[in-house]
Chains A and B, each alone.
Chain A
Amino acid sequence: MQPTKTRGGRSGAPRAAEAPAALGTYRGICSTCIHAPTCAYRLKSTEVAIWECDLFESYETPSLLEIVERHGRKRGAVIAMLEEIQAKYGYLPTHALQVVAENTGASMVDVYAVATFYRAFSLKPRGRHLVSVCLGTACHVRGGPGVAKEFERHLGIPAGETTDDREFTLDTVNCLGACALGPVVVVDGHYFPHVGIKDVEDILAHTLTGLDKVEVEGDRRIFPIEVNCPRCNHSLMDPSHLIDGYPAIRVTVSHGHTHGWLKLSSLYGSYNVEAEHEAPKDAVVNFFCPHCHAELRGAAACPECGAPMVPMVVRGGGVVQICSRRGCKGHMLDVSGTAVA
């Protein structure tokens, strides 16, 4: 990576008078600079400007500053800041290190030392999917190196590198603490146990189609349920609309001033939903029965996030409760109980 000199904090008024002297040293287009529209070095709108100048300030600087600010500009929080920056960008850009160093009072040397010390930090841009092949002792003796080599062959990159299309970053790690599953491969937080050379292609294909998609067929933890309203006991099932191949559960939801239908997959274990109005993630919405218009609101709080749970009577006995917070996967199934708030 070609490092660029960045001096986020020091810029004052653009020194227009000094500009012409530097014009002979064009080195690229400084399109990432926050001063680009008013830059004195940039004479015409189509003109390129010098890449490295004292006034360089990245467009990203305000959001970086916000992260630094949130941790109180403390030197002790440098690791936490770098973690957040890494989570946001997928790697640690050079100017991000500079911003952290300048605003915490730590020196660039210290920040760089931290950023290179921990394997979790990367100074190079990473791919969309991170493939970690474990080469710890247990995985090693069970064929981890062969798996790593197979990944290298399939992706065409050595371990530690990123593919040209930025899809995959291949990494080897020295123990994931899942030795009983060895050789273990972790892709974006999903653990693949007992990986053989033959499985490599499948894992990569699976990753590209999306790891979070629920496999309806073949997963025995997933089964369809039919539910009724706990108040009027009308069926909440909508046979005319299928989600995951089964009739959907139809309820009315309201969030703020918007009301609309929400259709949930009737498969226990599937989180697929369709909504008339998309409520923001993490918003707590109110559920209503489409027949009696009573609010479906239970006494229990979600064990995951604390939002109120929504009870529905399962046909055949029992109550299923789902969390009313969008995006929260908290749920309870009580097959024997009949207590409904």
Chain B
Amino acid sequence: MTNFTLNGLNVQVEEGTTLLEAAKFYGFPVPTLCYHEGLSPYGACRLCVVEIGEGPRAKLVSSCTYPAEEGLKVRTASTRVLRARKMVLELLLASCPQSKVIQDLASAHDIRRQRFKQEYEDCIMCGLCVRICEEQMMAKAIGFRNRGERRSIGTPFDIKSEECRLCGGCIYICPACQLRCTYTEPEKAICGACANLAPPCVEKEQFDDMMCYMDPCVACEIEKK
């Protein structure tokens, strides 16, 4: 067993437990995006950052990949952590403003304005689809390709993979593409805050709770009157 301090509380977890699992177990909320219980932790989205250590040696680590250590002092909601998370979210929102998951997370973190240019990317490179394909579906049909700004996810040579069984796991788990899969024009995507009276996805059941908190609206960029 490993003893460490979580937000000032002395806690005990089994060896090998990650900080995220410990925080979840003891009821401290840590937002995640690229983490999924059935998949190996990846540390891509950096949303789950927590602060470890004390004083000038305190540092931010991704809790999903950091195993608990004896005597560690962990803070899951310090000012520094919250500021870092907010920044990460603002950047994620800029690259993928049409994602409901990211919109909800942004609103929960009190982001009301969009500071960065919106890119309408299809993908935030969280690797969830790659991991579900490999670890749960045992297929390995899709993977990362290239690197740097040309990095993308897909099959080798962009042709239909012989390994793919069309299970749909990648679409199911994707936090960024719910709208991409049903609607391909982000500027017309569901919003509710703007004056678009006929949002194209409203009639579809899965979007009934869709609400945009942004001003200007992150999806349609129409300024609220």
Q: Which residues of A contact B (CB under 8 A)?
A: 1, 3, 94, 97, 107-113, 116-117
Contact A117 B140 (CB under 8 A): no
Q: Which residues of A contact B142 (CB under 8 A)?
A: 109
Contact A109 B157 (CB under 8 A): no
4 cross-chain pairs, A with B, having the tightest CB-CB distances, nearest first: A109-B143, A112-B156, A107-B140, A3-B157
Once bound together, how far apart are the Cα atoms of A70 and B145, in whole Å?
A: 27
Contact B140 A110 (CB under 8 A): yes
Once bound together, how far apart are the Cα atoms of A262 and B145, in whole Å?
A: 53
| Interface contacts beyond A108-B140, A116-B145, A117-B147: sample of 18 additional A-B pairs, CB < 8 Å, sorted by A | A1-B157, A3-B157, A3-B159, A107-B143, A108-B163, A109-B140, A109-B141, A109-B142, A109-B143, A109-B155, A109-B156, A110-B140, A110-B143, A111-B156, A112-B143, A112-B156, A113-B143, A113-B144
Of A3, A94, A109, A110, the most chain B CB neighbours within 10 A belong to A109
Once bound together, how far apart are the Cα atoms of A81 and B142, in whole Å?
A: 22
Contact B145 A113 (CB under 8 A): yes
Shortest beta-carbon distance, A154 to chain B, in Å? Answer: 27
Q: Smallest CB-CB separation from A119: which chain B residue?
A: B147
Contact B157 A112 (CB under 8 A): yes
Q: Which residues of B contact A107 (CB under 8 A)?
A: 140, 143, 163
Q: List 18 A-B contacts (CB under 8 A).
A: A1-B157, A3-B159, A107-B140, A107-B143, A108-B140, A109-B140, A109-B142, A109-B143, A109-B155, A110-B140, A111-B156, A112-B143, A112-B157, A113-B143, A113-B144, A116-B145, A116-B147, A117-B147
Shortest beta-carbon distance, A249 to chain B, in Å? Answer: 53
Whether a CB of chain A sits under 8 angstroms from the CB of B79 is: no
Contact A94 B144 (CB under 8 A): no
Total contacting residues, chain B, CB less than 8 A:
14
Once bound together, how far apart are the Cα atoms of A1 and B142, in whole Å?
A: 20
Shortest beta-carbon distance, A159 to chain B, in Å? Answer: 14
Once bound together, how far apart are the Cα atoms of A89 and B79, in whole Å?
A: 56
Q: Which residues of A contact B141 (CB under 8 A)?
A: 109
Shortest beta-carbon distance, B146 to chain A, in Å? Answer: 5
Q: Which residues of B contact A1 (CB under 8 A)?
A: 157
Shortest beta-carbon distance, B44 to chain A, in Å? Answer: 15
Shortest beta-carbon distance, A85 to chain B, in Å? Answer: 16
- Residues 136-187 of B contacting A (Cβ, < 8 Å): 140-147, 155-157, 159, 161, 163
Once bound together, how far apart are the Cα atoms of A197 and B173, in whole Å?
A: 52
Contact A116 B146 (CB under 8 A): yes
Contact A94-B157, Cβ < 8 Å, known A107-B163, A112-B145, A117-B146: yes
Once bound together, how far apart are the Cα atoms of A336 and B34, in whole Å?
A: 72
Shortest beta-carbon distance, B74 to chain A, in Å? Answer: 34
Shortest beta-carbon distance, B168 to chain A, in Å? Answer: 18
Q: Which residues of B contact A113 (CB under 8 A)?
A: 143-145
Q: Which residues of B contact A111 (CB under 8 A)?
A: 156
Of B155, B157, B163, the most chain A CB neighbours within 10 A belong to B157
Once bound together, how far apart are the Cα atoms of A113 and B159, in whole Å?
A: 15
Q: Which residues of A contact B146 (CB under 8 A)?
A: 116-117
Shortest beta-carbon distance, B160 to chain A, in Å? Answer: 10
Q: Which residues of B contact A116 (CB under 8 A)?
A: 145-147
Residues 71-82 of chain B: 1 if any A CB is under 8 Å from the residue's CB, otherwise 0?
000000000000
Q: Smallest CB-CB separation from B140: which chain A residue?
A: A107
Q: Smallest CB-CB separation from B142: which chain A residue?
A: A109
Shortest beta-carbon distance, A123 to chain B, in Å? Answer: 8
Q: Which residues of B contact A94 (CB under 8 A)?
A: 157
Q: Smallest CB-CB separation from B152: which chain A residue?
A: A116
Q: Which residues of A contact B145 (CB under 8 A)?
A: 112-113, 116
Shortest beta-carbon distance, B158 to chain A, in Å? Answer: 9
Q: Smallest CB-CB separation from B157: which chain A residue?
A: A3
Q: Smallest CB-CB separation from B146: which chain A residue?
A: A116
Once bound together, how far apart are the Cα atoms of A94 and B155, in whole Å?
A: 13
Q: Which residues of B contact A108 (CB under 8 A)?
A: 140, 156, 161, 163
Once bound together, how far apart are the Cα atoms of A309 and B205, in whole Å?
A: 85
Once bound together, how far apart are the Cα atoms of A27 and B101, in whole Å?
A: 46
Q: Which residues of A contact B147 (CB under 8 A)?
A: 116-117
Once bound together, how far apart are the Cα atoms of A112 and B157, in whole Å?
A: 8
Q: Smallest CB-CB separation from A110: which chain B residue?
A: B143
Q: Which residues of B contact A112 (CB under 8 A)?
A: 143, 145, 156-157
Once bound together, how far apart are the Cα atoms of A19 and B155, in whole Å?
A: 30
Q: Which residues of B contact A97 (CB under 8 A)?
A: 156
Once bound together, how far apart are the Cα atoms of A111 and B143, in whole Å?
A: 10
Q: Which residues of A contact B156 (CB under 8 A)?
A: 97, 108-109, 111-112
Shortest beta-carbon distance, A106 to chain B, in Å? Answer: 9
Q: Which residues of A contact B155 (CB under 8 A)?
A: 109
Q: Smallest CB-CB separation from A7: which chain B residue?
A: B162
Q: Which residues of B contact A117 (CB under 8 A)?
A: 146-147
Once bound together, how far apart are the Cα atoms of A289 and B140, in whole Å?
A: 67
Once bound together, how far apart are the Cα atoms of A111 and B163, in whole Å?
A: 15
Once bound together, how far apart are the Cα atoms of A1 and B163, in whole Å?
A: 21
Once bound together, how far apart are the Cα atoms of A107 and B155, in whole Å?
A: 11
Q: Which residues of A contact B159 (CB under 8 A)?
A: 3
Q: Which residues of B contact A109 (CB under 8 A)?
A: 140-143, 155-156
